[in-house]
């Protein structure tokens, strides 16, 4: 049986990459963790097993964040298994690269549905059900600062996430719930390397002041801070976690 005295973290898109690193870090910090996934059950179960093997409590839970009903059921599962949710980390998202002129309707709608509406769906439920003193941590992108070509629609969806972050922080202030966002720069994950030309990877590495791509652990460390007690006075902020690139 899980330790019901522990706080509970729900991490969306946690079956691999940054999401998996966040789930594992929060478990190390003493949270019961829900490892959300949409289709890759095997990877999500492996993340949960890694956590439980290390002495933590974790549950892989399937839900497509685009589906508001599925999101509500996911939070209900958290209530049934762990007694509620204290920390929501919105990590689920997709990345595409294309000029505006070559972005078709299907791609545009998919980016908006997952990155923007998916975040909205979880925020709406969390705003009603998160326990007092909780934390909401959304994921944006440092591209909003660099304005790289070929990322217009992706950046636009994340700009919407940043706007919701700042406004929800004000709406929930009376319940001592903080709402912040992280904005990673280029991070060495499968998502980033998909269709990424090596010349682009080399260029980004060279122009980053710290001389490397980010690692998932670089991002999970910042999330752990925002989820922990030392960040109680940080609210409505976007932390650019990019090694000084922007």
Active-site positions read 154
Structural tokens at position 22 = 């966040």
Quick one: which H or E segment has residue 84?
Answer: none
Rounded CA-CA distance 169/191 in Å is: 29
* Through-space distance between the first and last CA atoms of the chain, rounded to whole angstroms: 45
State the helix-helix crossing angle for 152-171 and 118-129, rounded to 10 degrees: 10
Within its chain, how far is the Cα of 167 from the centroid? 18
Q: What are phi and psi of 195, to 5 degrees?
A: 65, 15
Q: In the numeric block, which tokens belong to residue 155?
A: 């950046």
Would the CA dihedral through 204, 144, 112, 39 be positive or negative?
positive
CB 48 within 8 A of CB 244: no
Tokens for 202? 């080399």
* CA distances from residue 159 to 149, 155, 182 in whole angstroms, order as listed: 15, 6, 12
């Amino acid at each position: 049986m899980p330790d019901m005295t522990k706080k509970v973290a729900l991490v969306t898109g946690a079956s691999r990459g940054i999401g998996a690193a966040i789930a594992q870090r929060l478990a190390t910090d003493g949270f019961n963790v829900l490892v959300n996934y949409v289709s890759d059950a095997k990877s999500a179960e492996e993340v949960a097993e890694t956590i439980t093997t290390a002495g933590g409590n974790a549950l892989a839970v399937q839900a497509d964040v685009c589906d508001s009903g599925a999101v509500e059921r996911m939070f209900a599962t958290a209530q049934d298994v762990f007694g509620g949710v204290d920390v929501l980390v919105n990590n689920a998202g997709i990345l595409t690269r294309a000029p505006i002129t070559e972005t078709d309707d299907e791609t545009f709608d998919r980016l908006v549905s997952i990155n923007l509406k998916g975040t909205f769906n979880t925020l709406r439920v969390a705003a009603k059900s998160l326990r007092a003193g909780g934390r909401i941590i959304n994921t944006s992108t440092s591209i909003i600062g660099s304005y790289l070509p070929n990322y217009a629609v992706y950046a636009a969806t994340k700009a919407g996430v940043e706007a919701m972050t700042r406004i929800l922080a004000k709406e929930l202030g009376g319940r001592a719930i903080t709402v912040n966002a992280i904005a990673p720069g280029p991070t060495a994950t499968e998502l980033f390397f998909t269709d990424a030309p090596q010349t682009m990877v080399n260029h980004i590495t060279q122009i980053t002041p710290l001389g490397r791509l980010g690692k998932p652990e670089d991002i999970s460390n910042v999330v752990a801070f925002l989820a922990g007690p030392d960040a109680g006075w940080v609210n409505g902020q976007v932390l650019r976690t990019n090694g000084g690139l922007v």
